[in-house]
């Protein structure tokens, strides 16, 4: 009966019926597509915002006197640093310790290792990594500006610096460290010191400086100073 009634309707009536139904169907489909589009957009946007919130504290440099961005040490750099620490003993400090991988690697070799880093997110992450790797008892990480810290009681110093900070840091370390200290520079050498040992190539190059050589020069200069007449 339904088929007959539909077939018996005049052509004009059929056209009007189809015309009335089509907009409603298109509207429903369009609204569904719009809803899905909004959901996808919201999901992608939320993911990007969450990713930005997590990653930004790690890759954005903290406020420093000299901008020192966080660039993780490569496995080759770590091996080269450990090579420069062979037959060495005493406390070690990593200036600008980042995510703590140098400090942790040194602790695994038996060093009492300390890291100074201004970015709190990196310090907390470093502490977690040290705990995860089972060396938290031999490591310490501090949230501190390197220019406000004295490194006088460290015998081994590791620096991942930038060219702008090296001259001033060179002067600071020479004034504070004992003559038996060794300073290991990664990526960029110190401007005035002549390295005692060098290893690696390109960005993995590591320079080692024994401060006793420079203190020896200071001692000699004092020895040849003319005595005042009595």
CB 82 within 8 A of CB 62: no
Instruction: Answer yes or no: is pLDDT of 82 > 80.
Output: yes
Q: What share of the chain is helix, strand, coil (3-state, %, to 5)?
A: 50, 15, 35
Task: Return the domain boundaries, the chain.
Answer: 75-221
CB 103 within 8 A of CB 165: no
Q: What is the pLDDT of residues 136-173, one digit of tens each?
A: 999 999 999 889 999 999 999 999 888 888 999 999 99
Q: What is the pLDDT of residues 7-21, one digit of tens each?
A: 344 545 544 544 444
CATH fold for domain 75-221: Rossmann fold (3.40.50)
Query: What does the H/E/C string look like for 36-104?
Result: HHHHHHHHHHHHHHHHHHHHHHHHCCCCCCCCCCCCCCCHHHHHHHHHHCCCCCCCEEEECCCCCHHHH
Whole-number Cα distances in Å, 120 to 31, 57, 68, 125: 47, 9, 14, 8
Q: What is the pLDDT of residues 167-224, one digit of tens each?
A: 999 999 999 999 999 999 998 999 999 999 999 999 899 999 999 877 554 444 444 4
**Mean of pLDDT values over 15-35:** 53
Residue 13: its H or E element: helix 11-59
**Which pTM does this prediction carry?**
0.67
């Amino acid at each position: 009966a339904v088929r007959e009634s539909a077939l018996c309707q005049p052509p004009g009536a059929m056209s009007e019926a189809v015309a009335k139904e089509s907009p409603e169907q298109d509207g429903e489909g369009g609204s569904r597509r719009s809803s899905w589009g909004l959901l996808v957009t919201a999901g992608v946007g939320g993911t990007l915002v969450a990713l930005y919130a997590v990653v930004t504290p790690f890759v954005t440099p903290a406020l420093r006197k000299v901008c020192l961005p966080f660039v993780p040490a490569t496995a080759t750099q770590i091996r080269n640093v450990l090579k420069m620490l062979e037959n060495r003993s005493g406390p070690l400090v990593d200036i600008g310790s980042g995510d703590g991988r140098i400090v942790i690697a040194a602790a695994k070799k038996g060093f009492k290792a300390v890291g100074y880093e201004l970015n709190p997110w990196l310090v907390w992450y470093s502490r977690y990594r040290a705990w995860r790797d089972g060396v938290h008892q031999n490591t310490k990480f501090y949230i501190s500006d390197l220019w406000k810290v004295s490194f006088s009681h460290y015998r081994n110093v590791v620096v991942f610096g930038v060219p702008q900070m090296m001259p001033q840091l060179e002067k600071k370390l020479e004034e504070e460290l004992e003559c038996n200290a060794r300073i290991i520079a990664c990526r960029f050498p110190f401007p005035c010191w002549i390295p005692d040992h060098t290893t690696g190539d390109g960005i993995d190059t590591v320079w080692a400086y024994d401060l006793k050589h420079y203190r020896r020069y200071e001692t000699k200069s004092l020895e040849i100073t003319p005595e005042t007449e009595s």
